[in-house]
Amino acid sequence: SRGRGKIRCGGVTEDAFPTPRQMARFLRACNAAKVPFKATAGLHHPLRGSYRLTYEPDSPSGTMFGFLNVFAAAAFLHSQELPEEDLLALLTEEKAEAFSFSPSGLGWRDRALSSEQVAASRSRLALSYGSCSFREPIEDLQALDLL
């Protein structure tokens, strides 16, 4: 049986979040070694942005990765040559309009993947993610008209 990678994407303090370069290095290493991964913690929202770190009313905010950013980055890495500057730009993308989704595939800026390429990445590289919230990801995807 092969090993699996796991990256913790956040916590209750901003220093618990990996930097974009650390996330990029993890994704590249998993892809190069053909090690599938799971992402945990801190991926409550589809897009990167500043969000409250806890559910407490007076919670500080911090910059979080979006699960669409992480999974799109993994999919592009798995299927295409992706220069470091593009990988970092994709991981830090905050604009929903930079992404496109259709039955035929996924787009980000001027790059595109077929639905088959996305499916291959999902089964071979970016397997899953954990979120302590079930509602937030769904509500955010609905707000973006993706669900």
- pLDDT, tens digit (0-9, with 9 covering 90-100), for 32-58: 999 999 999 889 999 999 999 988 999
Question: pLDDT tens digits for 97-138?
Answer: 999 999 999 999 999 999 999 999 999 999 999 888 889 999
Would the pLDDT of 1 be above 70?
A: no
CA 34 to chain centre: 18
Helices (H), the chain: 20-33, 67-79, 84-91, 115-124, 135-143
d(CA 105, CA 101): 6
Q: Is the pLDDT of residue 2 over 80?
A: no
Q: Where are the domains of the chain?
A: 5-143
Cα dihedral 36→40→46→52 (10° resolution) = -160
Contact 33, 3 (CB under 8 A): no
pLDDT 10s digits, 54-107: 889 999 999 999 999 999 999 999 999 899 999 999 999 999 999 999 999 999
How many Å apart are CA 4 and CA 99, to the nearest integer?
Answer: 28
Q: pLDDT tens across 10-26, in order? A: 999 999 999 999 999 99
Taking CA atoms, 39 is separated from 10, 36, 43, 57, in Å, by 10, 10, 8, 26
CA–CA separation, 101 and 107 (whole Å) = 6
Query: Do 129 and 67 form a contact (C-beta atoms < 8 A)?
Result: yes
Place of tokens 């209750």: 12
